[in-house]
Amino acid sequence: MQATLLQRSLAAVWHPCTQMRHHASGELPLLAISHGKGAWLYDTDGRRYLDGISSWWVNLFGHCNPRINAALKDQLERLEHVILAGATHEPVVALSERLGALAGGALGHCFYASDGASATEIALKMSAHFWRNSGQAEKHGFLCLAGGYHGETLGALGVTDIPIFRDAYAPLLRPAAVLPSPDARQGASPLAAAECAATALEQHLAEHHEQIAALIVEPLVQCATGMAMHDPDYLGRARALCDRYRVHLICDEIAVGFGRTGTFFAHEQAGIRPDFLCLSKGITGGYLPLSVVMTTDTIYQAFYDDATARGFLHSHSYTGNPLACRAALATLDIFSQDAVLVANTAKAERIDALLRPLAAHPQVRHYRRRGMIFAFDVDADAGFGRRFHRAALERECLLRPIGNTVYLMPPYILDDAEIEQLCRVVGEALDAALPE
Ligand SMILES: Cc1ncc(COP(=O)(O)O)c(C=O)c1O
């Protein structure tokens, strides 16, 4: 008998972020996806799943979007890839210009990579190298926030504070100082939590700023730790403190950029600009791996020199891949042609109206939302998340709680019926996953 796709996958593919034995035991289902359309994924047995988590927060405008498909088909006939050291091409130039304009002209220099973690690495290296080029080589320490997540390569893990991802590799990491998070759940009010975290930042900077290159934050929502949300006030305070103590502010918008929090970039809600802005995930509409670090002219000029070693000698083979850049341009076209942020405001209100009643559930804590991200915590045992995941799949929805935090981060193209189904299934799966 021929092996199924699932059997072949379990034999040959080491799946990410997974204890593979949980697949073998059936505790964690493995979906064999044959195709996707709009917000739906279809498996090889003909079952379908509404993608409530945008395939790991990347998909914005649905699977197999006709407009992004068309742009990619056109690009395929022109240029699939070219080395970006010593060569350039229209998609990477146009994308850099458009991203620069979207950031108000303040971050006009774009450095590309493939995944989110590589953008984190680049921002950290660029910051420390800036200080070295500026005659302050001792400024090479980093600050990050409790519960923060910036990727899983060693440099990125060094500024990540999630034990399950970090602990096994702790001896390999160069530690950063972990400061209190402004997580709104931890204060008497979101503003009080922001103020408290900013006070801790100020105290740390006052004492250590001479050794510190940069503070890295996930603006407004610390996603991977369980959708911890904070008030924009924290970002304003952090920006002012970084200016006062001459420390860079790195905004990691890999998960929260591209409209997820309601504005195109999350940091806009604080009326600030970072020194480095890291973007990935939604940048290609969820099609291809692409990340970018955007930075200021001041940073760029510190590397601009006759000496090669003062340049930023960092590269990845697929840096600025033309296909990925074309997908990104098509994604930006959809944003402007369809007034997506305006439409999302109404969609987010509808989702909120349907989900918010769950806040009254006796085992639900801290219902929260920001833009198109919705979350709540559940008082339950450690197995809750997996039971919820399975219960949602049985009801045609792909949802993966983080620990005991249930969240929605759907693609932006859901229609009313899909919104209704997703929200109904959240309630049903919650009841199904809680013990009687
Ligand atoms: C805020 C943040 N930074 C960095 C990353 C890492 O991105 P990637 O998984 O593409 O390496 C993620 C991924 O979830 C993220 O949420």
Percentage of the chain lying above the pLDDT 90 cut:
97
**pLDDT at res. 96:** 98
Q: Which residues line ligand 1 (CB under 6 A)?
A: 115-117, 120, 149-151, 218, 223-224, 252, 254-255, 280
| pLDDT exceeds 80 at position 1 | no
For helices 322-337 and 66-76, what crossing angle results, to 10°? Answer: 150
Q: Ligand 1: which of 149, 153, 292, 409 to mutate, most ligand atoms within 8 Å of CB? A: 149
Please tell me what DSSP assigns to residue 395: T
Rounded mean pLDDT, 44-61: 98
**pLDDT at res. 26:** 87
Q: 377 CA to middle of ligand 1, Å?
A: 22
- Residue minimizing CA distance to atom 9 of ligand 1: 116
Give per-residue pLDDT as tens, 374-420.
Answer: 999 999 999 999 999 999 999 999 999 999 999 999 999 999 999 99
How many Cβ atoms are within 10 Å of 109's Cβ, its own excluded? 17
Residue 433 — pLDDT band, cuts 50, 70, 90? very high
Give per-residue pLDDT as tens, 257-283.
Answer: 999 999 999 999 999 999 999 999 999
| pLDDT exceeds 80 at position 195 | yes
Rounded mean pLDDT, 139-148: 98
| pLDDT exceeds 80 at position 83 | yes
- β-pair partners for 398: 51
In ligand 1, the atom with minimum distance to the C-alpha of 255 is: 16
Q: Ligand 1: which of 281, 283, 370 to mutate, most ligand atoms within 8 Å of CB? A: 281
Percentage of the chain lying above the pLDDT 70 cut:
100
How many Cβ atoms are within 10 Å of 379's Cβ, its own excluded? 12
Give per-residue pLDDT as tens, 350-368.
Answer: 999 999 999 999 999 999 9
| pLDDT exceeds 80 at position 436 | no
| pLDDT exceeds 80 at position 428 | yes
CB 146 within 8 A of CB 180: yes
| pLDDT exceeds 90 at position 251 | yes
Please state the pTM of the whole predicted model.
Answer: 0.98
Q: 288 CA to middle of ligand 1, Å?
A: 14
Q: Ligand 1: which of 218, 225, 252, 280 to mutate, most ligand atoms within 8 Å of CB? A: 280
In ligand 1, the atom with minimum distance to the C-alpha of 222 is: 1
Please tell me what DSSP assigns to residue 321: -
Q: Which amino acid is at 158?
A: G
> At residue 131, what are phi and psi to the nearest 5 degrees?
-65, -35
Give per-residue pLDDT as tens, 327-336.
Answer: 999 999 999 9
Q: 269 CA to middle of ligand 1, Å?
A: 21
Rounded mean pLDDT, 101-112: 98
